[in-house]
Amino acid sequence: MTTPSPVVARYLDQLAHGLADCGLPADDSQEIAREIESHLADAAAAGTPIAESIRRLGSPQELARAYAVELLLRPAPRPRRQAWRSAAAVLTSLLTYAIAGALLVLGGALAIAGVVGTLAGLFAPWMPFEPTLRSGLPQIVVLCGSLVLGGLGVLLLRLVRTAWRIARARPRSVNVSQKEKLP
């Protein structure tokens, strides 16, 4: 492969810079520069003076702007599949909110039941409403059961917090992946 003349090399360099300034990724800019280099070589081989070929292409800045107008101002249409995917994302996040809400209520109730039960188990013998709370079960069973229920409640609350964070993070991550697709 022959090395391009200084005039061509300068044109390609300015073109790649112009494309980068317009926000095109470096890989794309390099590939476009290689394509224009090949165009200029073909034109030269056909006997067209380099100056004439460059005049037809326009200045590197003009050509870079033409790419930018064509590519950036007219983004690729979103494939239809994406619409389904975003509908599915909305459904799953709704579902996540519903499940998180139910778990929150359940966890809270279990935690309160655990605390109340433990207190009742500890202090019931000296409390006036002892018989209704103990409901005939041995004190140690009420105590252990309440502690387990309370622990379960705290676990559920943590689970809800995590689920909540994931549900809130999802829309943002979808946006990021869409942005990456643009040049």
Partner 1 sequence: MRRGLLELSVLALLEGEASYGYEIVNRLAAVPQLASGEGTLYPLLRRLRREGLLEAFWQESAAGPPRQYYRLTPGGRATLNRMRRQWRELAKGIGHLLDPREPKP
Structure tokens at 22: 């317009």
38 binds partner 1 (CB under 8 A): yes
Structure tokens at 55: 């005049």
Interface segment toward partner 1; rule CB under 8 A; list 59-67, 82-90, 91-99, 111-119: 59-67
What are the DSSP calls for 97-138, one per residue? HHHHHHHHHHHHHHHHHHHHHHHHHHHGGGSTTHHHHHTTS-
41 binds partner 1 (CB under 8 A): yes
5 binds partner 1 (CB under 8 A): no
13 binds partner 1 (CB under 8 A): no
- Hey, how many other C-beta atoms are within 10 angstroms of the C-beta on 160? 20
20 binds partner 1 (CB under 8 A): no
Q: Shortest distance, CB of residue 34 to partner 1, whole angstroms? A: 7
CB 20 within 8 A of CB 183: no
Structure tokens at 15: 């073109």
What is the footprint of partner 1 within residues 69-88 (CB under 8 A)? 69-71, 74, 76-77
Q: Shortest distance, CB of residue 23 to partner 1, whole angstroms? A: 14
Nearest partner of 139 among 125, 128, 126, judged by Cα: 125
Which positions touch partner 1 (CB under 8 A)?
Answer: 1-2, 31-32, 34-39, 41-45, 53, 56-58, 62-63, 66-67, 69-71, 74, 76-77, 183
